[in-house]
Amino acid sequence: MRIERIELDGFGRFAGALWNLPAGLTVVVGANEAGKTTLLNAVRALLFGFESTREGRAWYPALAGGRRGGRLSLVTAAGERWLVERHGERGGTGSLTVRAPNGNTGGQETLDRLLAGADRELFTKVFAFGLGELQSMDSLSGEGVRSRIYGAGSGLGGMSAADLERQLRQRQEAIFRPQGRNQELNRLVARIEELRAQIAELETQPARYEELHRALAAVGGDRQRIDAERHEAAETAARAGRLVEAQVPAAELAALEADLAAGDAALDTLPAGIEAELVTLETARDAAAEALAAHDSAVSALVTRLAETTVDEALLAEAAEIEALVGERPLEAARARELPELRAAIDLADAELAEVARRAGGAPAWLLDLDDSVPAIQATRDAEARLTAREVERQRLNARVESLREALPAADPADEGLDAATVADRRAALRQLTELRMRRELAAAPGGVPRWAIILAAALAAAALVGTAVGLLAGLLPGALAGIVAGVAAAGTAASFIRPSSTPRRGGEQREGDLLAAAGLPPDADATAIRRADDALALAAATIAAGDRSREAEGTRASRLAAAERELTTAMAAADVERRAWEAWVAGHRLPAGCSPEAARAVLDLVPVARRAAAVAASARARCDAATVASHAFAERVDALLARLGRPAAREGLRDATVIALGESLAGARSAAERRRSLAAERADAERRRGPLADRAAAAAAGLDALLAAHDAPAVATLRARARAATERRELHARARELRARLAGIAGGEGRLPDLLASAAISDPATLQVERDEAARRVAELDAAAHELSTRAGELRSELARLEQGAELGARRQELASVAGRAAALAREWAVRAVALRLLEETRQRYERERQPRVVQDASAHFARITGDAYERIVAAPGEAAVRVEAATGAPRLTDELSRGTAEQLYLALRFGLIEQFARSTEPLPVVMDDILVNFDANRAARAAGAIRTLAERHQVLYFTCHPWTAELLDPERASTITLD
């Protein structure tokens, strides 16, 4: 991961500042109080929060204005871009927002995952350090840094294994200690022994308890038998479970052992450090050859310089101007480096402004002039709320209108042209006609009909109990009379015998023809026609009544529909007024026509972004113009000087080199003779020193050849390939041991492992699963039986308890059960923590033994490079905080036996090793250094600068310095140097 861009809204002396950083090395150079430390602390604050306040005042307040805080644009190794934004006026986390590549936002948990668990302590001591951290081993030997480095390498993130071990051990010792007296479990065990002694004295065995005791003993025997069966079933289930769990690792172990058997066993004898030794010898050979070549090149240069040394009188006449130009050259060089950065910043800011304007849908000038005040933004929210409310009301009223419209009937029910009075008259005529015919038939019947039969038939017919009437009268009357009554009842006219007719009678009875005409029937209508006519008239009467009720309800719904339509019209008019008001507001604020309140807010949110980009562009453009004017004046002076010296004008881009050449020529002209003597002496001295260098190069080459010969390797590549193959084979052996250990744990011991492997190889997974399920079912059944026996035993014990004399024995036994339960729970907790502690300790020790050498190996390579092979190796024994180094000649030395500069170089190499180890298993973090080379001599400073550049090939490195020579040492081309004014 690297920092792509730093933006500070306000922090210390910075306000509205922005820096774009490359992927590798960036050198930040500036004078004292230029803001280097402020920028370093700003990066720490944006990543890990603000420092605590001092004496009630904010640490690094926004002195130049702006909101305190800013943003970091981070790019992961996979190319994903994350934005970390943090603001706050006091110490602490402040307001944090982490924006993911997909646009989602998160907080502290998201940032912790992004930083792979690194916290402020780890970042400050290992990844961001200054001269103070290089002067002591304490910052690296602390348990927090070591545990987090090892935790990162083992996948534990920021968890401290040492802290976890300490917590487990403290709790374990608080529960139980051998020979202890004040621990919880020790006290409970002592109390159990006391209670048992007291119970033994209080217990009695009366004769009347014998029967209960025998029954309790029988229950206990049954419980033992069930427990034995349950144990056997549980063992069967456990065995099947172990075989199921062991099949996958057993298959992997078999495959690994087959691969190892098929491989080259001779590789097992190759030393583990052979590759590192090969790299060391090869590096020594190349360094010696490089030193000899550099020496020869220097001698050749001395000869050339000796031959070319001349005196130029014309230069002496222009000495004052040349010296002035040479003195101004660094400023011109700084301007030359700054101009591309300023132009790039202008282009970037202009492009950002254009992009923001494009997203807003207009020109940059229009966007910058928009009103993005809080009232304007609040106006969009208010308008959106009003429009939404109007639309919701319109939809509600529209749904109500549609519902009322659907409830209105399509047409009036049909009534065949008859009104209610006509239907009533016709039904009355039919009743009288039926009555007349019935009386006539009864009068003609032989023997007559009893009065009670007629009344009964009429009552049953009136109650719509036709079937009951027919059945009852059929048993009382002769066959002919029963048929008559049945006909009358079926016609539904029996009620006329007990209900008087409303039609006036003529001479006591109305004639049958007149009644047929009044009922709307022809004169020859039979009983069936009369019955059908009566049914039709009954239906018409019901239809007329239903129509009256429907018309009444329809009138009510019609009035409600009209009211709802009026409300809908009013709501639509109000919504139209709101829309026109919003459109007028949009036009008045020069926003795009037709945009919604939400779109308007989005446009207004882009205004501060555009203004920030415009401000950055304006500032950079002003600085660019000033630098351009100064550069033109410098060029004119150089060209005028060259013209006076009779030399051609310098081409564009070569004036800096021309000024340097003039300065060097002037110095040469002043002391040409002295320089020739000095050069001759240097040449003689260099020729004397060549012999030892040549011997060292030959010895280094011979050492490498001896290593190749010792391992029968024709070339370095061959030996390196064999070393890597041996490493892979050792990893296979380690994985096989790990699988065997895991399988031994499943089997219950190393001795049971062969049986487990053999059984796992021949067992069918489905069969094992069935066997385990059946055994589990049997265990459940036995548990139920055991529960029943426990219940029975409890009943027996309860009865025994009632027969016991006194309450003291029961109290003691109750206390014993309670204390024993607590002791059992604490014993289980102690055992679990003991196992966890042992596993954690063995895992951590094994990890340190196997992984620490890689860290120390990397650090040794860096230390040898920085010291010019004066020290060959760093030794750090597992579990020890002390570190010693082995020199090329002489006994090993501890850190307090080293000089201050060498000790700082050692701590720098160790940090490089820890940084590379951390990055092997997680996302690499940026490395920040603050002027750490000030105590190094020139040679070691140059080699350390080379090591820093090498580190920058794999990590982003930010180097802060106030020394121009350090900046040129790290970045000779000044391609990635940022100057703070």
pLDDT for 328? 85
Lowest mean pLDDT among 317-326, 419-428, 487-496: 487-496
Name the average pLDDT for the chain: 79
CA dihedral 199, 202, 205, 211 (to 10 degrees): -60
pLDDT tier at 162, thresholds 50, 70, 90: low
> Would you state the pLDDT for residue 852?
56
CA distance linking residue 622 with residue 474, whole number of Å: 125
Q: Give residue-wise pLDDT tens across range 96-135.
A: 999 999 989 999 889 888 888 787 777 877 888 887 777 6
What confidence category does residue 958 fall into, taking pLDDT thresholds of 50, 70 and 90? very high
Q: Lowest mean pLDDT of 224-228, 238-242, 473-477, 902-906, name the range.
A: 473-477
Show contacts of 844-850: CB within 8 Å, 24+ apart: 844/150, 844/161, 844/162, 844/165, 845/878, 845/879, 847/150, 847/153, 847/154, 848/150, 848/878, 848/879, 849/878
Q: Please tell me what DSSP assigns to residue 649.
A: P
pLDDT at 599 over 60: yes
What confidence score (pLDDT) does residue 161 get?
59
pLDDT digits 0-9 by tens, 170-179: 877 888 888 7
Kindly state the average pLDDT of the residues 355-365.
86
Residue 831 has pLDDT above 60, yes or no: yes
pLDDT at 413 over 80: no
Whether the per-residue pLDDT at 872 is higher than 60: the answer is yes
Buried b (16+ CB within 10 A) or exposed e, 531-549: bebbeebeebbebbeebee
Could you tell me how many helices (H) and strands (E) the chain has, helices first?
30, 14
Query: What tens digit of pLDDT does each residue of 26-44 get?
Result: 999 998 888 888 888 899 8
What is the structure's pLDDT at 9? 94
**What is the 3-state secondary structure of 93-148?**
CCEEEEECCCCCEECHHHHHHHCCCCCHHHHHHHHEEEHHHHCCCHHHHCHHHHHH
Q: Exposed, middle or buried, 126 (CB in 10 Å: 0-12/13-18/19+)? A: buried
What type of residue is 612?
A: R
pLDDT tier for residue 477 given thresholds of 50, 70 and 90: very low
Q: Answer whether residue 506 shows pLDDT above 60.
A: no
Q: What percent of the chain has pLDDT over 70?
A: 83
Whether pLDDT at 142 is above 60? no
H-helix or E-strand containing 28? strand 25-30
- Under the banding of pLDDT at 50, 70 and 90, the label for residue 53 is confident
Expressed in angstroms, the distance from the first to the final Cα of the chain is 28
Give the residue-averaged pLDDT of 523-540.
78
Contact yes or no for 518/533 (Cβ under 8 A): no
pLDDT for 456 equals 43
- Among 683-692, 712-721, 850-859, the minimum mean pLDDT is found in 850-859
pLDDT at 750: 81
Residue 465 banded pLDDT, cuts 50, 70, 90: very low
Q: What is the pLDDT of residue 409?
A: 58
Q: What is the pLDDT of residue 779?
A: 85
Q: What is the pLDDT of residues 295-339, one digit of tens each?
A: 888 888 888 887 777 667 677 788 888 888 888 888 888 888 888
C-alpha neighbours within 13 Å on the C-beta side of residue 850: 12
pLDDT, position 156: 47
For the cut 90, the answer to whether the pLDDT of residue 73 exceeds it is yes
Q: 686 pLDDT exceeds 90?
A: no
Asked if 307 contacts 673 with a C-beta cutoff of 8 angstroms, the reply is no
Taking only the tens place, the pLDDT of each residue in 605-664 is: 888 998 898 999 899 989 899 888 888 888 888 888 888 888 888 877 777 888 888 888
Q: Are residues 224 and 782 in contact, defined by beta-carbon separation less than 8 angstroms?
A: no
- pLDDT of residue 445 exceeding 80, the answer is no
The mean pLDDT of 65-79, rounded to a whole number, is: 92
Q: In the Cβ-directed half-sphere of 612, how many Cα atoms lie within 13 Å?
A: 17
DSSP tag of 415:
-
pLDDT band of 871, cuts 50, 70, 90 = confident
Q: How confident is the model at residue 55 (pLDDT cuts 50, 70, 90)?
A: low
pLDDT at 481 over 80: no
Q: How confident is the model at residue 68 (pLDDT cuts 50, 70, 90)?
A: very high
Position 69 scores a pLDDT of 95
Confidence of residue 471 (pLDDT cuts 50, 70, 90): very low
Q: Tell me the torsion sign for CA atoms 96, 100, 104, 106.
A: negative
Query: What mean pLDDT comes out for the span 719-742?
Result: 84
More confident residue, 533 or 668: 533
Q: Whose CA is closest to 491, among 546, 449, 553, 434?
A: 434
